[in-house]
Amino acid sequence: MPMVRARDMIVLGLMLLGSHAMAMVTPSLASEVRAGLLLQTDDGRRSAALLQHTTVSFDISGLLVRTRVEQAFVHQGDGWVEGIYSFPLPDDAAVDRLRMQIGERLIEGQIHAREEARQRYEQARVQGKRASIVEQQRPNIFTTSVANIAPGDRVVIAIEYQQRAGYSGGRFSLRFPLTLMPRYIPGTPLLPSEARIGDSDQRPAALIIDNRAFGWAAATDQVPDAALITPPVAASGEPLTHRVSLSARLKPGFALARVESRYHPVTVTSIAPGELAIELADESAIPDRDFALEWEAESGAQPVAALLEHEQDGAYYGSLMILPPAPESGATPLPRSLTLVLDISGSMHGASITQARQSLQQAIAALRPQDRFNIIVFNNRSYSLFERPLAASPVNRMQALTYIAGLEAEGGTEMAAAIKRALSQPEQPGYVEQLLFITDGAVGNEAALFNLIQARLGRQRLFTVGIGSAPNSYFMRKAAQLGRGTFTFIGSSGEVQQRMEALLGKLDAPQMTAIGIDSDEALELYPDRLPDLYPGEPLMVTFRARQRPGRLTLRGSTGERPWQQSLMLKTGAENPAISVLWGRERIAALMDDYRQAGDPSARDALRQQVVEAALAHHLVSRFTSLVAVDVTPSRPVGELLATQVEKNRLPHGTSQQQIFGLAKTATSAPLQIAMGLLLLLAAWLAHAQGRRLVSCCMAIRKECDHA
């Protein structure tokens, strides 16, 4: 065991104790490690929260959505302050712009490699200059830091991004997350001197403390960046002033049958021919659930193919949506072997477990006598109703429904064991093998789970159902992509039947497989692994070429029957955002390769390619950040700078007790509390006892893990 510093033991002890630690340590020690969640200067004064309001505006034109997110930080107290706020964005957002506004002064953000951007921010922070930085922790978790906010200052941070609207079954959709579900952090806690941030970033995790990333979870061997994805959460009943306003301009390009906001009342106004204005019915909303907007074309007005294009720096960029031909009707569906995997961890407590039970019940009711099925549930451990999939007989289905009715949500989210169990079941020759994975996705070790799915999928297809008011869309979408299935979101009990009927219809229909695209031009095409498609789903691709292709041929098969579709590409709608979308898709493909690469030199090469693509398209990524610095110092030399980490609300319908109580879903709470106390004691006795007590703590930890 390497030499362990007393400071390392103190830091790790406090991180393990989490929110419990602040009641147990002296004010001076708490100030040193910056573990507090409230703004507190060195003389003990506190002030009101900084983040006052977020304004979100969507500009929807056809398939493309340009979004602007403005975060207003208002400092109403005394002293100079730095504000840090972690927040969600859609996992497919191509973030390409940052603006910082102080009064009438605007500072435009610039893209840099992540380390360089952080160094620029830290230097400005120390020099007393106003600065801001936007960093990606996950494709759907970002952090904004704003340094040197003066008393009375109002600083507005504006972030802009590009994305495509969703489309399935004739409906277009847009989903915007408003809060973060606390993530379960599996693995063995690491000492700060041993941990690393990210897979190839060699900074020690102790610098997380120095860089003021106040996550409530300790770094582990499975989630080394845990502190960066676990921002503080407001206690139940704690008043927060932060509110959100949302508005949209919708120009669909076709006649609409309906526009609907799934979870927030809105007003819809026609402001010009073919253009609608959409606003919240209330001026602002509590940010505790996703905002979901859907719009549907009138019958016969749905697009069959749509091309968007842009030429830049001698290259042609195209974005294409194609609806493949519908499979022939009348074919007898093959019997299926359906394994239903349900998350019953503490984060699923309340409304989520109710929705999940309803979803399972509907799936069981849709089974045919010739089908087989099984149920696997998991929290800290995984459990299987049957040893293998059994016939969907009345007796077996009744046993399953009784089992479902007794399920309660508690404990951790050890998802890997459930995935292994589901993907290790005996093969079912003659059956279409499908997994239906129902969860809120509240995990921090997504990369390991994705690798597990890819390694063990075989002939099976994985479909994800995101449950709750703020599911982890990154996990849901990527797991379904790797599982060659689809993802579905269910945010309320009232939509379970409609959403599940649509999903079960896909499970029962023949999918279009072995899809490929041929062209008379060499294409750099993304996604580079084209997905299976189900009836009513389009193929959406972006590509780069020397010039516009004259013809594209789409090919594939439905069952054993091949099909082919040719398209002559004429002039498409011009939109400069297409190059940004292509850059975002390229980065996502490179990150998939990076996640699976085992050789350090291969990872370094892929990391460099990500940086090059992100810099070329001015995009925030895992390895690049946007930073804005005011050249004029504002904080006088010698004035103290306090740091405040802004809190997120728990998603609507979740239970703080179930997530952060002793039946904790976010960490193994009892063990971490015990380990935290042991390490603090070890630090206190370090000079007298040397390394013997630390070794004892580590031995106890191993015994606990073994047990």
Domain boundary at 451, 481, 508, which? 508
Count of domains forming the chain: 2
Angle, in degrees to the nearest 10, between helices 351-365 and 496-508:
40
Tell me, yes or no, whether 657 lies in a domain. Answer: no
Asked if 548 and 492 sit in the same domain, the reply is no
CA separation for the pair 220, 526 (Å, rounded): 33
Tell me, yes or no, whether 629 lies in a domain. Answer: no
Asked if 319 and 357 sit in the same domain, the reply is no
Give pTM, 2 decimals.
Answer: 0.87
**CA dihedral of residues 472, 473, 479, 482 (deg, nearest 10):** -150
CA separation for the pair 457, 446 (Å, rounded): 16
Two structure tokens written together for 478:
């990527």
Asked if 549 and 486 sit in the same domain, the reply is no
Asked if 434 and 360 sit in the same domain, the reply is yes
Asked if 470 and 561 sit in the same domain, the reply is no
pLDDT recorded at residue 565: 85
Asked if 350 and 378 sit in the same domain, the reply is yes
Asked if 406 and 381 sit in the same domain, the reply is yes
pLDDT recorded at residue 499: 92
Asked if 417 and 477 sit in the same domain, the reply is yes
Burial 254-263 (b: 16+ CB within 10 A, else e): eebeebebbb
Tell me, yes or no, whether 91 lies in a domain. Answer: no
Asked if 342 and 388 sit in the same domain, the reply is yes
Task: Please say whether the beta carbons of 23 and 213 come within 8 A.
Answer: no
Tell me, yes or no, whether 500 lies in a domain. Answer: yes
Tell me, yes or no, whether 597 lies in a domain. Answer: no
Q: Low-confidence residues of the chain, pLDDT below 50?
A: 1-4, 15, 18-47, 198-213, 662-664, 687-688, 690-694, 696-697, 699-701, 703-707
Tell me, yes or no, whether 598 lies in a domain. Answer: no
pLDDT recorded at residue 203: 42
Asked if 413 and 523 sit in the same domain, the reply is no
Q: How far apart are the first and last CA of the chain?
A: 22
Asked if 309 and 356 sit in the same domain, the reply is no
Tell me, yes or no, whether 369 lies in a domain. Answer: yes
pLDDT recorded at residue 291: 97
Tell me, yes or no, whether 252 lies in a domain. Answer: no
- Residue 539 structural domain: 304-328+512-578
Report the CATH number at residue 432: 3.40.50.410
Asked if 488 and 351 sit in the same domain, the reply is yes
Burial of 112 (0-12, 13-18, 19+ CB in 10 A): buried
pLDDT recorded at residue 40: 39
